[in-house]
Chains A and B, each alone.
Chain A
Amino acid sequence: MKLKQLLIALPLALSAVSFSGASLASDSLLNVSYDPTRELYREYNEWFAEKWKSETGNSLNVRQSHGGSGSQARAIIDGLDADVATLALAYDVDALRKRGNLIPENWQERLPGNSSPYTSTIVLLVRAGNPKNIQDWDDLVRDDVQVITPNPKTSGGARWNYLAAWGYAEQKYGSKESAYDFVKKIFGNVPVLDPAARGATNTFVQRRIGDVFIAWENEAFLSVEQLGRGQYEIVVPSVSILAEPPVTVVDANVDRKGTRALAEAYLEGLYSDDAQHLAAKHFYRPSNAEIAAQYEDKFPKVNLFGIDDVFGGWDNAQETHFNDGGHFDTILEELAQQRR
């Protein structure tokens, strides 16, 4: 009876697959990250596995999960077994504490630079030759310019875009009211509000909609490299926001699995010279000032402000701007009324 054998073999195969992690002799680590870090961690994981092997003699298998930053945080809270979380913004990592009680209150103080081994900023991506002559944020409110950005309500990355524009305007025009009007004008120039960063990239690159794409610097570099050299140019604005994608050990998980030493070594390794060079190679700004100085050609100097300075931290920014009834909601409402 072949069918019977099959029926017996299948559940066994299933259990073998789901529990094989425990029986293997080698170490294993799950890094839950967001979308644009794929290339960086692919290379870093190889580098770290070699280092780990030479130090401990154990082979190491680093497993990666990538997705939208917010939904990845949600998955960890719901039980995705991450040893380390390397997400796009502190707000998402902090959700692990607030909603899941998986990490301690002081998580962001455990590693240098607010636990961000690499940083980035928000830049403007324009089409080759910069036909609309876009030089700074002010050009984004012009009537003849179409702007592409994902929806800050759903995309973690897009919140940085919004805050970068707001911070610039508040510094330049000196009041929250003028910053509000400035950001509203920019969103008035957005023809399609995609829910996530990759969708917005496709709108700009493949559907060829819009004149300027507000993007993370590393994503902008990636678009230029992978989607057509010579078709796009990066314009660095005079003022932008310091984007700090933080990393943390997920304490509840590593303590249960007994992987704390490995997970901590993995994150500390991100601050090593080799890893800092890797970060630069994959278009993130190294947090180590000496190494960052070697890449000044690649990453032009920008007047960077931090989220704490202008918005009083992520919690405040989230509440005032992005929660239901926040500034972004009123902006969308007012724009909808104008169009009617």
Chain B
Amino acid sequence: MTTVTETTTLTLDRADVWRRATEEPQWVRRLLIGTTLVFLALFLILPLIVVLYGAFEQGLKVWYAAITEPDAAASIRLTLLVVAIVVPINIVFGVAVAWAIAKFEFRGKTILISLIDMPFAISPVVVGLIFVILFGSQGWLGDWLNAHDLRIIYAVPGIVIVIAFGTLPFIARELIPLMQQQGKQEEEASLTLGASGWKTFWYVTLPNIKWGLLYGVILCNARAMGEFGAVAVVSGRIRGETNTMPLHIEVLYNEYMFTAAFAVSSLLTGLALVTIAIKSFIEWHEKRA
């Protein structure tokens, strides 16, 4: 009995000492918190205010006119079209690859995992150039494409390809740890009970990963809309045709049309804010679940 009481007091004592050790003087705490706040204000809040102020400085009418101007509207349509193609492709790829990595053992698995990360590691400009070298007139497939009058780069397909490449890891990266953590007992149970592979996927796997998947989709979406470097290389900058929103913002800025540039920027910023809101909602939901 006595030994037990002794140990309890000892641990309590230690906790006490430990707590006191972190009680920094007030000025240190204030300095640290202050630095953080100043940093936040300077690098996050201030730019946000600048964008919104620039966009709405001359009133809602000017803002509306700027985003409905034909070239701007075309860039918004193109961006949405690209996202509508790229995100489903990445959903299919991301789920398939995460499924394979998390639920099966096979040779070359580590290589596959590293390969998925490659788009994160390569500079976007290089990504663009890779596809120019592949599909350009002087490129490997150039003659064949020319002979069949197919356009890949400097047209919509090229933009889709580079953005799909750049956003490829988002969904897979989100799902792999989640699925690995969940293990494969539920799927095995479903299969031994006679469900088909598809049925197992729809009724067991998918419901388990849906929040993680949504999270991945949102990140993928945000990146797909904002991608600049790689698109700039393969776009050809035909106005009203192959300029995505980020490229159009640059064009407007270069034409000294600052209000219009900020107006289109405000749309992209708005998307970012919505993304963050949905992201926080999902995180909150996951914590509750």
Q: Which residues of A contact B (CB under 8 A)?
A: 6-7, 10-11, 13-14, 17-18, 30, 32, 35, 38, 63-67, 75, 77-81, 99-100, 198, 226-227, 256
Interface stretch, picked from B1-9, B57-65, B133-141, B266-274, is: B133-141
Which B residues, 79 to 114, have Cβ-Cβ distances below 8 Å to chain A? 81, 84-85, 88
Given A7-B88, A10-B85, A13-B81, does the pair A80, B154 have CB atoms closer than 8 Å? yes
Given A14-B81, A78-B153, A198-B254, does the pair A65, B137 have CB atoms closer than 8 Å? no
Distance of A235 from chain B, by nearest CB (Å): 22
B199-221 vs A, Cβ < 8 Å mask (1 yes, 0 no)? 00000000000000000000000
Q: Are B154 and A79 in contact (CB under 8 A)?
A: yes
25 pairs, CB–CB < 8 Å, chain A vs chain B: A7-B88, A10-B84, A11-B85, A13-B84, A14-B156, A18-B157, A35-B254, A63-B240, A64-B238, A64-B239, A65-B236, A65-B237, A65-B239, A66-B237, A78-B139, A79-B135, A79-B136, A79-B137, A79-B153, A80-B154, A81-B154, A99-B138, A100-B137, A100-B138, A227-B256
Closest A residue to B142 by beta carbon equals A79
B157 touches which of A14, A30, A32, A256 (Cβ 8 Å) = A14
Chain B contacts for A79, CB-based, 8 A: 135-139, 142, 145-146, 151, 153-154
Q: Which residues of B contact A (CB under 8 A)?
A: 81, 84-85, 88, 132, 135-139, 142, 145-146, 149, 151, 153-157, 160, 236-241, 251, 254-256
Q: Are B81 and A78 in contact (CB under 8 A)?
A: no
Closest A residue to B237 by beta carbon equals A65
Chain A contacts for B137, CB-based, 8 A: 77-79, 100
Closest B residue to A14 by beta carbon equals B85
* 16 more A-B residue pairs beyond the given contacts A7-B88, A65-B238, A66-B251, with a C-beta to C-beta distance below 8 A: A6-B84, A13-B84, A14-B81, A14-B156, A17-B81, A17-B156, A18-B151, A18-B157, A63-B238, A78-B136, A78-B137, A78-B139, A78-B153, A78-B154, A79-B142, A79-B151
What number of A-B contacts does a CB cutoff of 8 Å give?
A: 72
Chain A contacts for B84, CB-based, 8 A: 6, 10, 13
Q: Are B237 and A63 in contact (CB under 8 A)?
A: no
Chain B contacts for A14, CB-based, 8 A: 81, 85, 156-157, 160
Q: Are B132 and A78 in contact (CB under 8 A)?
A: yes
| Cα A32 to Cα B236 with chains together (Å) | 9
Distance of B232 from chain A, by nearest CB (Å): 9
| Cα A38 to Cα B238 with chains together (Å) | 12
Chain A contacts for B136, CB-based, 8 A: 78-79
Chain B contacts for A38, CB-based, 8 A: 255
Chain A contacts for B132, CB-based, 8 A: 78
| Cα A80 to Cα B236 with chains together (Å) | 6
| Cα A64 to Cα B241 with chains together (Å) | 9
4 closest A-B pairs by beta carbon, nearest first, are A78-B136, A79-B137, A80-B154, A80-B236
Chain B contacts for A77, CB-based, 8 A: 137-138
Closest B residue to A197 by beta carbon equals B254
Distance of A53 from chain B, by nearest CB (Å): 19
Chain B contacts for A75, CB-based, 8 A: 154, 236
Q: Are A81 and B151 in contact (CB under 8 A)?
A: yes
Distance of B214 from chain A, by nearest CB (Å): 14
Chain A contacts for B156, CB-based, 8 A: 14, 17-18
| Cα A7 to Cα B254 with chains together (Å) | 37
| Cα A67 to Cα B251 with chains together (Å) | 9
| Cα A18 to Cα B251 with chains together (Å) | 22
Chain A contacts for B88, CB-based, 8 A: 6-7, 10
Q: Are B239 and A63 in contact (CB under 8 A)?
A: yes
